[in-house]
Amino acid sequence: MKIIDVYRQRRSIRSFVPGAIDTDIWHEILEAGRIAATSRGKQARRFITITDPLAISETVEQAKMQVFLKDCSALVVGCQTSEAASASDVIISMAQMEAVAVSHGLGTLWLGVFDRDVVRRRINLPEGYKEVLMMAFGHPAEPGQQPPKLPLTEVFRENSF
């Protein structure tokens, strides 16, 4: 699949069918995150993956997350390794991981809303590290559709605003 078609197909999934992700596909997803660009090549980001169904369920409940997330196959917490590290690094990796997941027919959801203290405690995040956001990966229950986006001419201007 052409990369542009992956992005055209990408949409937020809020209904998952429980079940593990194929191991080779999961490793490909993680690899996409590993090799992503980072600010000054520092690679100052780490990812905590939660794939055990019970751990997912407990995390969703304790961190007051949306209930349908209990059915996802994996939660990934993206963390910068210090306050000074770049949140962009985490986000770039996550975006690459998402693209690989979508290319394999999986569904994803970016997650910015969760009880951060609870998640930090659950993943034993060391002092100084900062959780940036989470992403859910799983098997979409419905095809779903990407909502309409602004036209190219609105989003991009040439040379001057």
Is residue 101 within 8 A of residue 108, CB to CB? The reply is yes
* CB-neighbour burial class of residue 144 (10 A; exposed 0-12, middle 13-18, buried 19+): middle
| Residue among 1, 12, 19, 84 that touches ligand FMN (CB under 6 A) | 12
If binding means CB under 6 A, how many residues of this protein chain bind ligand FMN?
12
Which of 93, 137, 86, 88 has its CA nearest to residue 111? 137
| Residue 148 in contact with ligand FMN, rule: CB under 6 A | no
Q: Which two tokens stand for residue 141?
A: 């229950």
| Residue 133 in contact with ligand FMN, rule: CB under 6 A | yes
Q: Please, which residue, 82 or 146, has the CB nearer to ligand FMN? A: 146
CB within 8 A of 91, min separation 6: which ones? 78, 132, 133
Minimum distance of ligand FMN from residue 3's CB (angstroms): 16
Q: Please, which residue, 24 or 154, has the CB nearer to ligand FMN? A: 154
Residues interacting with ligand FMN, by CB under 6 A? 11-12, 14, 66, 109-113, 133, 146-147
